[in-house]
Amino acid sequence: MTTKKTTPAKAATGTKKSTAKTPAKKSVEAAPVVVAAPVVVAAPVVVAAPVVVTAPVVVARADFEEVVRAEAHALARGRGFRGGSPFGDWLRAEAAVLARFTAEGRAVARRNAPSADQT
């Protein structure tokens, strides 16, 4: 036997549900699902230029010493030929000329090349 369960208020009054309006249930719609397409980004193509290695231009030792001599003389003249020493001027000039030649891609021969007479 099944019995119907009723609340005491309903059983006592025996009336139907109240007719007061209850807020209507809002239907909840699901937001549309947006699927993004994968973005393809092209990577830049780096093409390395061919590296050309050239042999340095070799300067004869006598020519190098002539440039150093002129540079050392300019250093001495710049200070009025007072103070300092010729050897110190030579060392400073030699370092400056060697650095300049290296930056320009020139190399200095280790010793004087034999002339055509000596071969």
C-alpha to C-alpha distance for 60 and 2, rounded to whole angstroms = 123
pLDDT in tens, the chain (119 residues): 566 665 555 555 555 555 556 666 666 677 777 777 777 777 777 778 887 767 788 999 999 999 999 999 999 999 999 999 999 999 999 999 999 999 999 999 987 556 555 55
Specify if 25 maps to a domain: no
How high is the pLDDT of residue 33?
73
Specify if 92 maps to a domain: yes
Structural domain range at position 104 = 65-111
C-alpha to C-alpha distance for 86 and 101, rounded to whole angstroms = 22
How high is the pLDDT of residue 107?
92
How high is the pLDDT of residue 114?
60
Specify if 69 maps to a domain: yes
Specify if 10 maps to a domain: no
Specify if 96 maps to a domain: yes
Specify if 5 maps to a domain: no
How high is the pLDDT of residue 23?
62
Q: How far is CA 14 from CA 7, 9, 20, 26, 104, in A?
A: 10, 8, 17, 31, 112
Q: Are residues 107 and 99 in contact, defined by beta-carbon separation less than 8 angstroms?
A: no
Q: How many domains does the chain have?
A: 1
Specify if 81 maps to a domain: yes
Q: How far is CA 115 from CA 60, 98, 108, 112, in A?
A: 11, 24, 17, 8
The alpha-helical segments, DSSP class H, found in 28-117 are 61-78, 86-103
106: which DSSP letter?
Answer: E
How high is the pLDDT of residue 52?
74
How high is the pLDDT of residue 49?
80
Q: Which residue in this structure is represented by tokens 């290296």?
A: 102
